[in-house]
Chains A and B, each alone.
Chain A
Amino acid sequence: MPKENRWYRKFGFFHDPLEIKPLKETYTLQGRNKEKEEILYRILSGNLLLIEGKPGSGRTALLKHAIDNFRGKGKVVYINAGELSKRLNISDYIEKKPKGMILLLDNVQSLSFKNNERIKYYYDTDQVKSAVFTTTSQEEANFSQALKDRLGSSIIKLNKLQFPYCESIIAERLGNKKHILPKNVLKELFRTSSGVKEFLIKCRMLCTHLADKGKEKAGIADARLLNDLYDEESTELAVEEEAYLCNECSENLVKVGNYWRCPSCDAYCLTCGALVDEEDTACPECGIEFEEDEEYES
C-alpha cells in the first residue's frame, strides 16, 4: 500500500503514532514508576536484575527506558538473545566492548546455559558492570544456581498495565486527535487484551478500519466487532511476530525446545534444540543418543 493511503496520513499524521515496536518509539513510558526506579537503581549500583513478563507486557519498553536514561553517560549494550543464532560464544561479543559496560539482554530464555555462565564470569570480573535480563518466566531461563544466587530477590514481575496508563499512552500518541478513540471504546479494547502490545495492535486495527470507512470517530459497536474479528486474526499475527531470520542465510528459524535454530546452518538436537557437535553421539543437554545421520541435522 502506498504511504499516502495509510490510515495515519488520512488522520493527518506523518508517522504512525501507534507504533508497536518498543525500541523504535520515542514516547515516554507511562506508569510503572516503581519498576522504572528499580531498574535505574540496579544498574547504577552494579546489580543483576531479571524482568519477568508475558510477551507484549512491556519488557522491552522498560529496557528502552534504561537505554534512554544512560544514553551518552554509560556504556549500554542491548542484545536481543532471540536473534542470536548458531553456536555463538557470547565472550566474543562482550570482550570487544569496553570494561564496565551495562548489559541489557532481551529474551534471555533463548540463551544457552553455557553462555549464561560466561555472563556470570564477566559480571564477576567487572567487565559487565550490571546486567538486566528479560524473560517470559524465571523457570524458562537457563540459569544456574550460582546465577540465581547472584540475582537474589532483584526480580521484577510485570503485571498488566492499569487502564488509566493505557489511556494516557493513547492520549500522548494521538495528541489533539484523541477524540478518534473515545474512552468507552478504549475501555472495551483494554478489557479484552492481555498486554500493552495487544492493546496497541487493536487500537491500530480499529483506526485502519475507521480510515477505510471514512469515519471520524469510533463507536462502541466498532470495538465489539473488532474484538470478535481479532480472535480469528490473532493466530496470523502471532506467526508474523515470532518469525526470526537467520543471520547467515536469512532463512526462517524454527523453534526447537527453548531455542531458535536455523535448519540449514545449525547442527542441533531435534528433541531439545541444544547445539551439538558433528562428532557427538549423544546430546550434551538432554542426553538422548543419536542414530547415524538421523537425529541431528547439519
Chain B
Amino acid sequence: MKAKLWYNELGFSENPFTIKPAKFSKEIFGHKFTIEDIISRIKESKAILITGEYGTGKTSIVKKIISEFRGKLRIAYYNCNRSYKTIDFDRILRVAGGFFHWLFRIRKKGILLILDEAQDLNKKDMDKVAEYYEKGFFKSVVLATKGNDIQLTDSLKKLVEGNMFNITGINASDAVRIARNRIGSTKFISDKLIVEIFLRNKNPRKFLKNCEEVFRAAFDQGSRSVQKRHVEEVLGQQAKR
C-alpha cells in the first residue's frame, strides 16, 4: 500500500518545498544587496549582526556567506542552541585550524566565526567573543539572531555598531523566482498563482509551506494543474484556524 506522493508524480525525488535552510541555499533571491554588503564588510574584518524575524532567511544568508568564503578563509559555524552552558571557543579555534593545530593544541588565528541563534549566547560568551576578536583570533564575526531585542554586552555592542543588518521579507517577484528555482518551469502552476499564494503570507518559510499544501491538495484532487480554487480551498482554511 504505497501511496503516490505528489512530488514523485511530478518528477521530483524529494519534496521541493522543504523548509530546511541547508538545501537550496546556493542561490538566494531577494537579499542581493544585503549579502554583497555583508561580504564586503567581512573582507574589511568587521563584526556583523544580522537580525530578522522567524523564517525570513537568516540561516540561508549565513549558508550563502559560508559558500562564498569556502576555500578562502577558515570558517567556524556554530549554532548556539547546541551548547549546554558555555561555548568552548578554544576548542573551536583548534579544530578550525586543522589536524596539526588540534594535535599540538595551537589556536588558529584569523578565522571567520559565524554564530547562529545568537540570542542564546550568555554574557560570558559575548565578552569572550569580543576579547578574542580584539586579540586577532577572529578575523570577523557574524552573529545571526531573531528579532531586534537581543541584549548585547557593551563590548560586543561597540564592535557591531554600524554593521547591523535587518532582514525583512521578500517581494513578489523574488517569491516567484524562489519557487521557480525549486520546481523549474513546470506548467503545473502559473506565475500568477505563485504570487497569489505569496500574498496570503509573505513570510518566506510560510510561503514555501503554503506552496507545498496547495500542490498536495491539487494533486490529491487529480487535476492537471493548480487552479485558483485549490489555493482558496487550502489557504482559506488556514486563515480560519
Binding site for B on A (CB under 8 A): 37, 40-41, 44-47, 89, 91, 114, 117-118, 120-121, 123-126, 145-146, 149-150, 152-153
Contact = CB atoms under 8 A, between A and B. Distances in A.
Given A126-B20, A146-B54, A153-B238, A45 B81 contact: no
B64 interface: no
Interface residues of B, number: 29
Contacts, number: 60
Contacts of A146: 54-55, 146
B158 interface: no
Contact of B20 (A123, A145, A149, A153): A123
B20 A41 contact: no
A146 B117 CA distance: 11
A42 B7 CA distance: 13
14 contacts: A41-B3, A46-B15, A118-B81, A120-B81, A121-B79, A121-B81, A124-B20, A125-B20, A125-B22, A126-B20, A126-B22, A146-B146, A149-B206, A153-B213
A47 B212 CA distance: 11
Contact of A45 (B5, B55, B79): B5
A149 B54 contact: yes
B140 interface: no
B148 to A, nearest CB: 15
Interface in B127-167: 146
B79 A126 contact: no
Interface in B20-35: 20-23
Given A150-B205, A153-B241, A114 B81 contact: yes
Contact of A124 (B59, B146, B206): B59
Nearest to B15: A45
Contact of A37 (B3, B55, B59, B81): B3
B81 A46 contact: no
B51 to A, nearest CB: 14
B235 to A, nearest CB: 10
B3 A40 contact: yes
Contacts of B206: 149, 152
A153 B19 CA distance: 14
Contacts of B14: 45-46
A150 B19 CA distance: 8
Contacts of B55: 146, 149
A94 B206 CA distance: 27
Nearest to A113: B81
Contacts of B212: 45, 47
Contacts of B21: 124
